[in-house]
Amino acid sequence: MKAIRLPRRFAWIVAVALLAAAAAQAGRVPLPQPQQVPPEIATSCVEDTDVMRHKHFEFILHQRDETMHWGIRTKRHSLKNCLNCHVRQRPDGSYPKHTDPDHFCNACHEYAAVHIDCFDCHFDGPEKAAK
């Protein structure tokens, strides 16, 4: 009996150890790393950063209706303005498309499985990149 029990316990310990190692090494999808705005452009967002992380869509969706129906064209929560700061030129001079992994608005959305249709219509880069 003893001869059988020992290897069983051993196998169990090995299994747990293996699982833990796998989880630590390769088990997680890496957290999204949205592209940083260089400090010479700006050091803070239009609202506190953690507020933006949680609520950015509320600001832009509100602004959208204000602009469409009331002609309010303040810059602060305007979608164009987000892109002016947040979509940066690559070293090769090109700009990321909204479908590219390095587009600011794509990084988290891909991770969180959020789909937005805004760029079906809206230009996806800073205004100065528009032809």
DSSP state at residue 66: H
3-state secondary structure of 63: helix
Q: Does residue number 109 form part of the binding site for other proteins (CB under 8 A)?
A: no
CB atoms within 10 A of CB 36: 10
Q: Does 130 bind other proteins (CB under 8 A)?
A: yes
Q: Which of 3, 43, 50, 70 binds other proteins (CB under 8 A)?
A: 70
**Among 101, 61, 66, 100, which residue's Cα sits nearest to residue 82?**
61
Q: Among the candidate windows 8-16, 21-29, 88-96, 110-118, which touches ligand HEC by CB under 6 A?
A: 110-118
Can you say whether the dihedral through the CA atoms of 37, 38, 42, 43 is positive or negative?
positive
Using CA atoms, how far apart are residues 48 and 130, in angstroms rounded to an integer?
A: 29
129 lies in the binding site for ligand HEC (CB under 6 A)? no
Contacts with ligand HEC by CB under 6 A lie at 34, 37, 42-46, 49, 52-53, 56-57, 59-61, 63-64, 67-68, 77-82, 85-86, 104-105, 107-109, 112, 114, 116-118, 120-122
Enumerate binding residues for other proteins (CB under 8 A).
47, 64-66, 68-76, 80, 83, 117, 120-123, 127, 130-131
